[in-house]
Amino acid sequence: MQWLILGTLPFISALIGWLTNRLAIHMLFNPREEKKLLGIRYQGLIPRRQHEIAAKTGEIVADELLTSHTLQGEINKIDLDPYLRQAADTLIYQRMGPRLKKMPLVGSFLNDSVLSQVHKIALEEMTRQAEPIKLRFASEAEQHLDVKRLVREKVESFDLSQLEAIVHRLAGQEFRQIELLGGVIGFIVGLVQLGLMLAAQAVG
């Protein structure tokens, strides 16, 4: 009977190691709300620190990722030509053209050829002003866009159930490896304990 108990010691230690790591992973997100057990308050790490994580994430994004003129550089990469052409088409042919044709005197001289010339001039001017407008827009965005606040509010509003599902979907294999590692380490510790106990009995 004693040998049976001693023989199961490594397996019991492996089970404890596996369960401990599994519980630790589970407690990253659970329980969502603070609980009390034997007078001890406990709560999942992410729910408990969500506000701090949100604030720190906002700081990192604003200070480290969106460095000076990052936003401006990205806005400058946008090709506005297709949108400018569409805007010029709408402005000249759909908005201004019909209204000008209804005006006395002006309407009698306004034909498709004239509209085409006006369209060409409008498109050239809009294209010329595109870069300055993008620069001004980017500058205004960098000055007035509160990245820290936006990121903080977004992280704070995360649905933790959805976030947990995403994390498990992305890192499920790694979590299983951590659980298995706990079992392996527990088994090794159990073997060491078994060896020490056998050695102590042999000496005794």
- Residue 4, pLDDT score: 66
Residues 29-72 pLDDT 10s: 888 888 887 778 878 888 888 888 888 888 877 776 666 567 67
**Closest to 34 (Cα-Cα) out of 46, 44, 24, 23:** 44
Residue 78 lies in a domain: yes
pLDDT at site 55 = 85
- The closest alpha carbon to 99, from 85, 86, 110, 112, belongs to 110
In a domain, 92, yes or no: yes
Cβ contacts of 93 within 8 Å, gap of 6 or more: 115, 119
42 belongs to a structural domain: no
**72 in a structural domain:** yes
Q: pLDDT value at position 160?
A: 81
Task: Please give the C-alpha separations between residue 46 and each of 32, 103, 172, in angstroms, as whole numbers.
Answer: 8, 67, 17
Q: Does residue 37 sit within a domain?
A: no
Report if residue 40 sits inside a domain: no
Find out whether 76 and 149 touch, Cβ atoms under 8 Å. no
118 contacts 92 by C-beta, under 8 angstroms = yes
Angle, to 10 degrees, between the axis of helix 81-89 and the axis of helix 112-144?
A: 130
State the pLDDT at residue 140.
74
**φ, ψ dihedrals at 196, nearest 5°:** -65, -40
Tally of structural domains, the chain = 1
Domain that holds residue 183: 2-32+47-203
Q: Please tell me the predicted confidence (pLDDT) of residue 114.
A: 75
- Model confidence, pTM: 0.57
Q: Please check whether residue 125 lies inside any domain of the structure.
A: yes
- Confidence (pLDDT) at 156: 80
Q: Kindly state whether residue 105 falls inside one of the protein's structural domains.
A: yes
Q: Residues in the chain with pLDDT < 70?
A: 1-6, 64-69, 71, 100, 105-108, 110, 204
